[in-house]
Amino acid sequence: MSDNFIGKPFQLDSEVKNGVVAWRSPSNIALIKYWGKHGRQLPRNPSLSFSLSNAYTETQVQYSTREKTRDTVSLEFLFEGKKNDAFESRIQKFLNSISTNFPFLKNLDLKIESQNSFPHSSGIASSASSMSALALCLTDIEYELHGMERNEEFFHKASYVARLGSGSASRSVYKDFCVWGTTSLEDKYDDEYAVPLDKVHPVFEGLHDDILIVSAKEKSVSSSAGHDLMIDNPYAETRYAQAREKLIKLAGLIENGEIKVFGKIVEEEALSLHALMMCSDPSYVLMEPASLEIINKIRAFRDSTGTPIFFTLDAGPNVHVIYPERASQEARAFIVEELLQHCEDGRHIFDKMGSGPQKISYSNKI
Ligand code: PMV
């Protein structure tokens, strides 16, 4: 319940309080997609994803005590070393909206610096990595100020706060696979925050996700507009039921190492997401001809060679190519020879399942 994450009151007369924290947090790729929300950023269906390794955001928050409490958060924000007014006002609004979760926010002057490991306009959504990195920093400051032990609850709170910034960000505070949203799989899964998926067969260790950038252009319909269009989508309820069912199936396949059926569900999910967009009112298409060329080539290559290689898509035209470590040689050769030619200027990010967010010291930043 959200009440669990109301922050402790902060005493201005308490000692300290200047400091700096920094976290590196990864992007993640959803295999069961979150599409449709309600209330304060709550999902209509549970989602399952894994965290990446090379696509990440690093965020550093410097804080110092103010002389007295004010009504709003005081913030200076730098993105990739430069002042960015648009981002600054968005983050300031977000910080004001979570001040009950972090009462200390109104007692501190904050300077936040953030940078991504991938180019800003690469067509790779940065909201999951950036909001999770910020949420981890803020939760860390709270735990530091109140001398609390960083246990499982620490990550639940960071995930909860990240979710308020961007739903998919809730899943970036863990390594490997995780689930966000209630499911009949187990009671521990929650709509308010993500939880790791524990039972993973070794065949999925180091699972690859090579991101093929078909277009780096800004999407014609944003994710938040897409979530809103689910409200009147005639297939919405069927979709939510389907996602719930598929998540349970996929979790079982991940536990048992059944990679072929796993891949089948992953692809069906990606195409269901895009089918929902095509069936919205107004309808829209985010895939490009090159996305379909890549999809067709992946299926043909798999059929002719038996290589376990699959695709998924986010809410955009770029294709994520998923394959296990044991197929990496033939999969990578195929991608280089056959697929990169469909990317915009050959752009791609070779990525894989990662070890989750990391607390960093200033000197280790990119
Ligand atoms: O977190 P948002 O609001 O940007 O929505 C993300 C939606 C998808 O990327 C399409 C699916 C998902 O679960 O990440």
Res. 134: pLDDT tops 60: yes
**What pLDDT was estimated at residue 1?**
44
CB 162 within 8 A of CB 172: yes
- Which of residues 73 and 159 earns the better pLDDT score? 159
Q: How far is the CA of 35 from the centre of ligand 1 (A)?
A: 7
Res. 345: pLDDT tops 50: yes
Which atom of ligand 1 is least distant from the CA of 166?
A: 1
Question: What average pLDDT score do residues 106-132 get?
Answer: 87
How sure is the predictor about 259, in pLDDT bands with cuts at 50, 70 and 90? very high
How sure is the predictor about 118, in pLDDT bands with cuts at 50, 70 and 90? confident
Euclidean distance between CA atoms 268 and 96, whole angstroms: 39
pTM for this model (two decimals): 0.95
How sure is the predictor about 146, in pLDDT bands with cuts at 50, 70 and 90? confident
Rounded to the nearest 5 percent, the helix, strand and coil shares of the chain are 40, 25, 35
How sure is the predictor about 70, in pLDDT bands with cuts at 50, 70 and 90? confident
Cis amide linkage into residue 282, ω under 30° from 0: yes
Indicate the top mutation candidate among 27, 29, 35 to test ligand 1's pocket, ranked by most ligand atoms within 8 A of CB: 35
Q: If you ran DSSP here, which 8-state letter would residue 277 be given?
A: H
Euclidean distance between CA atoms 350 and 212, whole angstroms: 8
CA atoms 174, 180, 186, 190: torsion sign: positive
Helix (H) or strand (E) run with residue 322 in it: strand 319-323
Cross-strand bridge partners of residue 141: none
Res. 93: pLDDT tops 80: yes
Q: How far is the CA of 64 from the centre of ligand 1 (A)?
A: 34
Q: Residue 230 in 3-state DSSP?
A: coil
For 315-344, write each residue's pLDDT tens digit. 999 999 999 999 999 999 999 999 999 999
Question: What average pLDDT score do residues 283-303 get?
Answer: 98
Give alpha helix (H) positions in the chain: 85-97, 127-145, 152-165, 223-229, 236-256, 259-278, 289-305, 328-334
Euclidean distance between CA atoms 154 and 360, whole angstroms: 17
Res. 174: pLDDT tops 50: yes
**What pLDDT was estimated at residue 15?**
61
Euclidean distance between CA atoms 346 and 202, whole angstroms: 32
Q: What is the mean pLDDT of the chain?
A: 93
How large is the C-alpha radius of gyration of the chain?
A: 21
The single-letter code of the amino acid at 358 is Q
Q: Residue 173 in 3-state DSSP?
A: helix
Which class for 334: exposed (0-12), middle (13-18), buried (19 or more C-beta within 10 A)?
buried
Q: Residue 362 in 3-state DSSP?
A: helix
CB 191 within 8 A of CB 283: no
Q: How far is the CA of 187 from the centre of ligand 1 (A)?
A: 23
Q: How far is the CA of 285 from the centre of ligand 1 (A)?
A: 16
Indicate the top mutation candidate among 27, 33, 50, 168 to test ligand 1's pocket, ranked by most ligand atoms within 8 A of CB: 168
Which atom of ligand 1 is least distant from the CA of 33?
A: 13
Euclidean distance between CA atoms 212 and 320, whole angstroms: 6
How sure is the predictor about 13, in pLDDT bands with cuts at 50, 70 and 90? low
Q: Residue 21 in 3-state DSSP?
A: strand
Q: If you ran DSSP here, which 8-state letter would residue 121 be given?
A: T
With CA atoms as reference, report the closest residue to 194 among 162, 228, 223: 162
Half-sphere exposure of 313 (CA within 13 A, CB side): 26
- Which of residues 311 and 18 earns the better pLDDT score? 311
Q: How far is the CA of 160 from the centre of ligand 1 (A)?
A: 15
Euclidean distance between CA atoms 311 and 264, whole angstroms: 9
* Ligand 1 pocket, residues with Cβ under 6 angstroms: 30, 33-35, 47, 127, 166-168, 223-224, 227, 273, 314-315
Cis amide linkage into residue 17, ω under 30° from 0: yes
Which residue is listed with tokens 């920094």? 22
**What pLDDT was estimated at residue 10?**
75
Q: How far is the CA of 304 from the centre of ligand 1 (A)?
A: 33
For 231-256, write each residue's pLDDT tens digit. 999 999 999 999 999 999 999 999 99
For 354-364, write each residue's pLDDT tens digit. 999 999 986 55
Which atom of ligand 1 is least distant from the CA of 168?
A: 1
CB 209 within 8 A of CB 318: no
Q: Give the pairing of strands 348-352 and 194-196.
A: unpaired
